[in-house]
Chains A and B, each alone.
Chain A
Amino acid sequence: MSIQGKITGWPVTDGGAPATLVAALAANAAQPGSRPGFRERDFGIWREWSWPQVLDEVLSIAAGLETLGLGPGRALTVVGDNRAAIYFTMLAANALRAFPSPVYPDVPVDEFKTFVRFGEPDIALAEDQEQVDKLLDLRGRIGRPSTIIYDDPRGLAGYVEPGLIALSEVADRGRARLAAEPGLAADLVARARPDDPAVLLYSSGTTGTPKGIPLLHSNIVGGIANAEAGGYFQRGETLFAYLPTAWVGDFVFTLGAGVLLQATINIPERAETALHDLREVAPTFYLAAPRAWDAMLTRIQVGMADSTPLKRRLYDWFIPRAIELERKRLKGYRPSAVERLREAVGSFVMYGPLKDYLGLSRAERAFTGGEAMGEDTFLFFRALGIKLKQFYGQTETCALSAAQVEGSVRIDTVGRAMPGVEVRIEDSGEILIRSASVFHGYADNPEATAEALTPDGFLRTGDAGHIQDSGDLVVLGRVSELVETAQGQRFIPTFIENRLKFSPYIRNVAILGAGLEELTAIVCIDYEAAGHWAEQRSISYSSYAELSQKPEMLELVAGEIARMNELQPDGLKIRRFVNLHKDFDADDGEITRTRKLRRKVIEQTYAALVAALYDGSDEVIFDAKITYEDGREGTLRRNLVIRRV
């Protein structure tokens, strides 16, 4: 099947590079290397697609989607975990000048209609039966989507609903069309324009309803070009596609960079096997949120805690020294010959095996961003020899604004503006950004667009920050998050929370104190790490709730808070805290899907708790509302201990 033979040209930029994702795909297929374009783990082995096969697949799906009525300017709802078929379908929508609108797969059906507001999405792609059920439910409520395409047919054989169609069937229809219409393939490749939307994403909705953010092909192509010029990406990377498909990081860093820079995109078998599959892939580029890096560190620490004596002693000898050396090196220190020797031995004995265990032994470019990272975590991974760097960006800029460069890496900066990116600081302290990757406005929301974009094309990020003399950008927090205690001391709760969350035993924490006399905290322990800690000390527990209220556990958390307090000015020390009986959960609305706190929800849900934290009582009886999976609601009465620090 030689679709390739029929394709001779595609839209290009002024520099001659492909101007759309579809064009880049065609360019990759026209000069395929020996490396596959996509690899997906399926029943334990990796299935590979070369770039010509990917193009073949994408054009088939595109031709099939067209028969279902997908046309220019329309959205295609996509919901599911990372799957090759999902990526192919997103590109196929692009080929039709339509755009995918990925939705987090764990969004409950009640919230789903928020994510189908723009682009009249009448067609939806669901990964499996679970998502099909959700979309059928949605159709019962709002009448859309009329066509539901599914990738995994398991469990769907008995469904008789109208408009339900398998993705393979769509592709087969498309293949038949491509065979029958000789000019169709070349036409599909050339249709998409640089100023067509490539994807519709949603803001996290920390405050209010999520806004629709269309990113154009030109945004992504421009942003990736900037990043490549800055050396943050290289051609021919090995990527690992495990980030949520609805996050900008996945579309831009995985699919966008993968297609534009001819990488190999590796897709894990399931979200649960991602850690295992990561080791099989050993990517050269790895992006993870700070808390994912924290989780990796916790895994290593928990593993080392019950390792054999010799191994533990070696770990305890090498790692602190390596961290100390890395700390000094970031300040410009040049290691002595002895230290270099120690590093060489250490990387054979300890750092190398740990990197190998994580699957990051080939990760030349490792990034984190989205929120502040703990210094301990940051230094730990850099000490292992993973050149971890922080980057800065938001969905509105394709997440490609600034990133650290080797030689100027500091824990408190987010690096320099990428080539082609202009950064300006307003008098109010707000960071403004202009570049090719900055979006052109929110979907159907001119007011919000006018607020976010200045007339000369700068994006108001809403982040407070400043630029150091070295050119490195420092981000302090959200301009809107700055709050004051009753005494008038200003602080950013997230900043304190993040510091506390660097403890392996604390998974989530909410700091209270805006407009109040003192700071208090609602703490959610980390069930895995704290549970392991308890097991080692023969502390029996049967549930998260029980473990969280154990006196030893409270003592442990109090110790962690006391240590953090040492770094805080007097008026901003945490005086009282409570261990919550459960972790904050996105399904309960307490955190967003990207795991950011929703303070208003927390303050409302736990109003009784908050009151008790400030009235001096030692204990609070809290009626916890719970929603069962079948939708029924109930209450559970919990006794929670309040502790002073």
Chain B
Amino acid sequence: MIYRRAGISFTRYQDERRLWKLPTDRWAVIVIFALLLVAPFLVDRLFVVGYLLPLIIWSMAAMGLNLLMGGAGQIHLGYGAVIGIGAYASVHAMRAGLPFELAMIVGGLASAAIGVVFGAAALRVKGLYLAMATLAMQYIVDFVIVQVPAISGGTQAALSVPRTSFLGIAIQGDRAPYYVALALCAVLTLFMLNVRRTSFGRALAAVREKDYAASIIGVDPFRYKLLAFWVSSFIGGMTGAVLAVCYYRTISPDQFHLDLSIQLVAMVIVGGLGSVLGGFLGVGLILFAPIVLNQLIGLAADQFGVAIPTDLRAHLPLMLYGGLIMGFLLLEPLGLAKIYSNIRNYLLVWPFRHARQ
């Protein structure tokens, strides 16, 4: 209904391969990006700092993890640790005097270097065993950060981030961190959208579907699994740096524990494996569903005067939240992105059932 496709023609094959071929999609992207740009001037600062900023940063993390899980088919239960390594490495680098731009890359490289060591296990083990190997990474990294005062920052085990700037913009106040994160997220999103269309992305897909079949067609699974771990960990490390600088401002080991890793895996799976949009949708659901449900139940309790016992009041949102995630995955195992694409297809062939000639 809202998709109009008449009059779209191409004079070059390059144009035919563009990302958003339909004007409707292009407009949707432009409008959403424009809204994100003006959001700090339109809505309350609490909303920007409390909701939009985490949405953007966790989406970056989800995209990084999704490259590994959805792109190359390798599970990772230690992505929180990867982010932690990036955060600590970059903060230490900044404290040593490096500018944020370089520190971010140092964080990425540190994560990539350590991540790829554990990822090497993926060359030997698959599936559940890989999950165990990455889980081990999570615990080892947690342990090292806590036990080495030089990393964790001594007895208080909290490391504050020095004031810094990005491309000449001082990262302070509410808006600057938001815009820095948004800019980096936009770059990463474009990278993720395009990586699937490169030979690298296709090689990862081949490895994901069947690694020995990939090696038969000349894609070296050894190389591409390592590369997937490298790239994904690098993105995780950079995200860690952004997280530390733009959001946490003070980092401590408990911010990067196993529950973060599990949450990220949940975001990726609920959002949709292998989908860039799914990263955003998954993060949105996992972050905001508890908050929204909590508010709704509070509102219902106030409005209708239902006396809900305090402990039920505390647990009901979590139960509903769990039910919601299960419901979505039952409805569409391929995640929120697949639900979106189903709706889009429904509208794309409107008013017919199928695409017709």
Contacts and interface: CB of A to CB of B under 8 A. Distances in A.
Interface of A: 39, 41, 44-48, 275-276, 279-282, 299, 303-304, 306-308, 311, 314-315, 348-350, 352-362
Instruction: Name the prevailing secondary structure of the A interface residues.
Output: helix
Interface stretch (B6-14, B165-173, B315-323): B6-14
B50 to A, nearest CB: 37
A281 B13 CA distance: 17
Q: Which of B10, B346, B351 has the most CB of A within 10 A?
A: B351
Contact of B10 (A46, A276, A279, A350): A46
B357 interface: yes
B344 interface: no
A314 B351 contact: yes
Nearest to A303: B352
Given A276-B357, A279-B6, A354 B11 contact: no
A305 B13 CA distance: 36
B4 interface: yes
Contacts of B357: 275-276
A307 B351 contact: yes
Contacts of A315: 351
Contacts of B10: 44-46
B199 to A, nearest CB: 22
B353 interface: yes
A311 B350 contact: yes
B351 A362 contact: no
B5 interface: yes
B4 A356 contact: yes
B7 A362 contact: yes
A358 B357 CA distance: 9
B16 A306 contact: no
Contacts of B16: 44-45
Contact of B9 (A280, A307, A311, A349): A280
A313 to B, nearest CB: 10
A361 B7 contact: yes
Contacts of B8: 280
A362 B356 contact: no
A360 B11 CA distance: 21
Contacts of B9: 39, 41, 46, 280-281
Contacts of A349: 1
B351 A350 contact: yes
B351 A311 contact: yes
Contacts of A362: 6-7
B354 to A, nearest CB: 8
Contact of B353 (A48, A281, A308): A308
B4 A361 contact: yes
B6 A304 contact: no
A355 B6 contact: yes
A304 B4 contact: no
Contact of A311 (B4, B12, B352): B352
Contacts of A353: 1, 4, 350-351
Nearest to B16: A45
Contacts of B353: 303, 306-308, 311
A352 B357 CA distance: 17
16 contacts: A44-B16, A45-B10, A45-B12, A279-B5, A279-B7, A303-B353, A303-B356, A306-B353, A311-B351, A311-B352, A352-B4, A353-B4, A353-B350, A356-B5, A357-B352, A359-B7
**Can you list the 5 inter-chain pairs with the closest CB atoms, starting with the nearest?**
A282-B7, A280-B9, A282-B6, A303-B352, A311-B351
Nearest to B10: A45
A354 B351 CA distance: 7
A279 B7 CA distance: 6
A248 B1 CA distance: 37
Contacts of B1: 348-349, 352-353
Given A281-B7, A315-B351, A356-B4, 12 more contacts: A39-B11, A41-B9, A44-B10, A45-B11, A45-B13, A46-B11, A279-B7, A280-B6, A281-B9, A307-B351, A353-B351, A362-B6
A279 B22 CA distance: 13
A282 B4 CA distance: 11
Q: Which of B6, B7, B13, B350 has the most CB of A within 10 A?
A: B6
A311 to B, nearest CB: 4
B11 to A, nearest CB: 5
A46 B356 CA distance: 22
Nearest to A315: B351
A27 B120 CA distance: 70
B6 A356 contact: yes
Nearest to A355: B6
B7 A304 contact: no
A282 B186 CA distance: 34
B351 A359 contact: no
B101 to A, nearest CB: 41
Contacts of A44: 10, 13, 16
Contacts of A356: 4-6
Nearest to A318: B351
Contacts of B4: 352-353, 356, 361
Interface in B11-28: 11-13, 16
A393 to B, nearest CB: 28
Contacts of A279: 5-7
Nearest to B356: A303
Contacts of A48: 11
A314 B346 CA distance: 14
Given A44-B16, A45-B12, A275-B357, A280 B351 contact: no
A279 B357 CA distance: 10
A45 B10 CA distance: 5
Contacts of A352: 1, 4
Contacts of B351: 304, 307, 311, 314-315, 350, 353-354
A349 B11 CA distance: 31
A299 B7 contact: no
B352 A307 contact: yes
A47 B13 CA distance: 11
Nearest to A311: B351
A359 B13 contact: no
A471 B294 CA distance: 74
Nearest to B352: A303
Nearest to B346: A308
A357 B353 CA distance: 13
Nearest to B13: A45
B142 to A, nearest CB: 51
A362 B4 CA distance: 12
A90 B6 CA distance: 30
B325 to A, nearest CB: 28
Q: Which of B7, B13, B356, B357 has the most CB of A within 10 A?
A: B7
